[in-house]
Amino acid sequence: MKRLEERIRKDGKVLPGDILKIDSFLNHQVDVKLMDEIGEEFYRLFQDKKPDKILTIESSGIAIASATSRCFGYVPIVYAKKTVAANMAKEVYEAKEHSYTRNIEYTVQVAREFLSEGERILILDDFLANGEAMNALISICDQAKAKVVGCGSVVCKTYQPGEQRIKDLGYDVEVLARVKHMDDEGNIEFE
């Protein structure tokens, strides 16, 4: 997605530890017009999959899933929670996820009432690096006996194993911006 790549080049910052910071438009402050374009592109890529729901992880995936949901006729979105709240359902599906950017492990949870056996689930997230978050969401779908019909990521660092890891599990993976290389001087190359 050319416009996304241009925006990453313009506003993205490469931080120590191989971190791409794009929070000025994707996951802290949100450029809603760009988000709508991202939703339209995910719709184009996955429209034949006919998902019943979109599954993501809090909090960065919520805007992505919402924009995509509109294109799919407002299918419900479900997001896995990283922290347990007092009002969280007692019966949950859960999986461990190691955050690349925060370098901590979360147990992500989805209330059982929001995923059902046989539902067609499209998984979306903001970044795909090592594949930990996406793998956790796949595990949650497996626990629910829901069918993962596709996995999408806004940005993928293709030099890390995440995309191939998810493909090796047999899932269709689509990425909107494929980062081939980043360096400490702030240079970003796309495939």
Q: What is the pLDDT of residues 38-84, one digit of tens each?
A: 999 999 999 999 999 999 998 889 999 999 999 999 999 999 998 77
Q: Alpha-carbon distance 144 to 146, whole Å?
A: 5
Both tokens of 92, joined, read: 């949950």
Instruction: Determine if residue 156 is left, alpha or beta; phi over 0 gives left, psi from -120 to 50 gives alpha, anything else beta.
Output: beta
Q: Which residue range forms the structural domain that includes residue 174? A: 2-190
**Contact, 172 vs 151, CB < 8 A?**
yes
With CA atoms as reference, report the closest residue to 160 among 175, 150, 138, 142: 175
CATH number for position 133? 3.40.50.2020
Total domains present in the chain = 1
Q: Is this prediction's pTM over 0.85?
A: yes
- What single-letter DSSP state applies at residue 102? T
Q: Which of the two residues, 122 and 18, has the higher pLDDT score?
A: 122
Nearest-10 Cα torsion for 178, 43, 115, 143: -40
Give whole-number Cα distances, 53 to 63, 83, 118, 173, in Å.
15, 22, 11, 17
With CA atoms as reference, report the closest residue to 157 among 186, 189, 129: 129
Both tokens of 97, joined, read: 């996820």
Both tokens of 152, joined, read: 């999408």
State residue 82's pLDDT score. 86
Residue 102 in this model has a pLDDT that exceeds 80: no
